[in-house]
Each structure stands twice: as structure tokens, then as C-alpha cells.
Amino acid sequence: MEETVSPVRVYCEQDLDGCEMVAVANGTAAVYTAKSPERESSNQDAVALLPFGEGSGVLVIADGVGGLPAGSAASAVAIRSIENSLGDAVKEGTDLRGAIITGIEKANEEVAEQGAGAATTLAAVEIQDSTVRPYHVGDSQILLIGQRGKVKLLTRSHSPVGYAVEAGVLDEEQAIHHEQRHVISNAVGSSEMYIEIGSTLEMAPRDTLVVASDGLFDNLHTEEIVEICRKGQLSEAGRRLAGKCRARMVEPEEGQPSKPDDLSFILYRRRPNR
């Protein structure tokens, strides 16, 4: 695939046939988003790649909460709020971390004002040269993988099942098949919304960053995602992730997870020698 360059790239209610390759923050991203194979209405996920000066940017995925009204509108509001906050920060000369937090907080207010229970999860990653920092609300997750398969970061899902895994009550195999896996305890649009902010991490040139909605993590085990993404071309990794997820959704394999859902992910690698 040819790499394309865009100052800002936003995907709302879109269905891509394959991954799009985008240059962002001194690196390259493979982007995929598509609605659930069982959904007749539009894709409720929204995706954005937002530059912030030279060598910096933000990768964002918002997943409108399924079953609630205006899920796609809520995810779009979250994306646009962060985009606008970053634009204001550039004009005012304020820092990227503060701009992301402000964007999420404003999104929470705007989504709550929509009423009727509108909500969205959100996962964002701040990239500044060779460092990354995760921010998330809900069960969209962030994964940082070394070339040899080491998991350097995996955010926890803000859900009863996610907390049970963190406490050691459930293992990943039990969690991915749990009947309450879809229940979340934190979302943008809630009066009790909170932002989990991770530590700044150094990203090696061959590391792969994955930002994804739960459509990825509910259909593939972490070790499967790691093995697909840790090496080779990003475009090929994206193709394999999307293909394997869609196959699990449409034709469940015995003993394997299967949850038809909207699917969105961003795979990112920074360029070497930066």
C-alpha cells in the first residue's frame, strides 16, 4: 500500500475495506475501522490521528457504547473535542498533556448534554518524539509490543471483568469468555467519568503501538495480537488482524472467543534514528 500524508485524519461512521497507511508524529500508522458484520446501522467507532507540532501527535479511538442511543454521535463528539483542544493548545502554546485532558473533560460534558444515556469509551496515546503516554476511559485498550514479543504496556479495561483480571481473580482465558465481558464501569458521558493516565514510556524504533476498540481485544487473545504485530510490515499486520477478527465474528471457532462488534485499531511505529 502507498503511504499517505495528512495533517489531520479523522474517521467517523466509516467502513474501510482495508488498512490505510498514514504518516504521523515521525512515524507510520496503519488504520482500520469497520462496523460489526451483524450491524445494519452505522459504525459507532471513531478514529483520529492528530499531529501536534513536529514529531508529536495523538492517536485516538472512541467506541460509542453499544445498545445506547447516539453511540456514533458520542464517539464523534469525543474525537472532535480532542481535536479542537489540541488546536487551541497550538495557538496558545500550552502543553500536549493538558490539551488531551481538557479535550476529554470537555467531551464528557458535551456527551452528557446529549442526554438519553449517550456514552463512549476512549483510548488516546500522546506521542512526543520517542516517548508515548496512554490515556483511557472504558474498555478500549492500548498495547505496546517489543519486536521480540515483550508486552511493555497493556492498559486495563475499566470493567468488573477487567478489575477481576487485575486482581488475579480471573485469568485472560476466563475473562475473554466471561458473559459480563461487555459491561463497563467508566465512560465518557458519565458523571463519574475518570481518566486513567499512564506513565511516559520510551518507544524503541521496532516497537509496535496498538490502540484499539474492544472489537479487537474481545475476539483475539493478547498473545495472538502480539504475534501478529511484533514484526513484519504494518500493512500486513493490519490486514491479518482485521481478517482474523472478522473471521472469528462471522464463523466462531470452537473454544475461541467470538463477539461480533465494530472493529477499529491503529498500529503505529516510529521511524528509526529520530
At 80-94, the pLDDT tens digits run: 999 999 999 999 999
Domain boundaries, the chain: 4-270
Cβ–Cβ contacts within 10 Å for residue 5, how many?
Answer: 9
pLDDT in tens, 135-166: 999 999 999 999 999 999 999 999 999 999 99
- Local confidence band at 1 (pLDDT 50, 70, 90 cut-offs): very low
> Cα-atom radius of gyration of the chain, to the nearest Å?
17
Q: Is the pLDDT of residue 67 over 70?
A: no
Question: What single letter denotes the amino acid at residue 145?
Answer: I
- CA dist., res. 16 & res. 34, Å (int): 6
The average pLDDT across 172-196 equals 92
DSSP 188: B
What tens digit of pLDDT does each residue of 189-219 get?
999 999 999 999 999 999 999 999 999 999 9
Q: Is the pLDDT of residue 6 over 60?
A: no
State the fold for domain 4-270. Phosphatase 2c; domain 1 (3.60.40)
- The pLDDT assigned to 68 comes to 65
pLDDT in tens, 107-140: 999 999 987 788 999 999 999 999 999 999 999 9
Q: What is the mean pLDDT of residues 241-249?
A: 96
Mean pLDDT over each residue of the chain, to the nearest integer: 93
Residues 61-69, mean pLDDT to the nearest whole number: 81
Cα separation, 214 vs 209, whole angstroms: 16
Chain Cα centroid distance, residue 173: 21
> 131-150: string of b/e by CB count within 10 Å (b at 16+)?
ebbbbbbbbbbbbbbeeeee
Q: What percent of the chain has pLDDT over 90?
A: 82
* Neighbouring C-beta atoms of residue 130, cutoff 10 Å: 16
Confidence of residue 69 (pLDDT cuts 50, 70, 90): low
What pTM value is reported for the model?
Answer: 0.94
At 273 the pLDDT is 65
Confidence class of residue 265 from pLDDT cuts 50, 70 and 90? Answer: very high
Helix-strand-coil percent breakdown of the chain, rounded to 5? 30, 30, 40
Q: What is the pLDDT of residue 39?
A: 82
DSSP secondary structure of 126-173: EEETTEEEEEEESS-EEEEE-TTS-EEEEPPPSSHHHHHHHHTSS-HH
Of 224, 176, 215, which Cα lies nearest the Cα of 66?
Answer: 215
In angstroms, rounded to a whole number, what is the distance separating the alpha carbons of residues 168 and 230? Answer: 26
Is pLDDT at 274 greater than 80 in this prediction?
A: no
Classify the C-alpha dihedral 87-134-47-31 as positive or negative.
positive
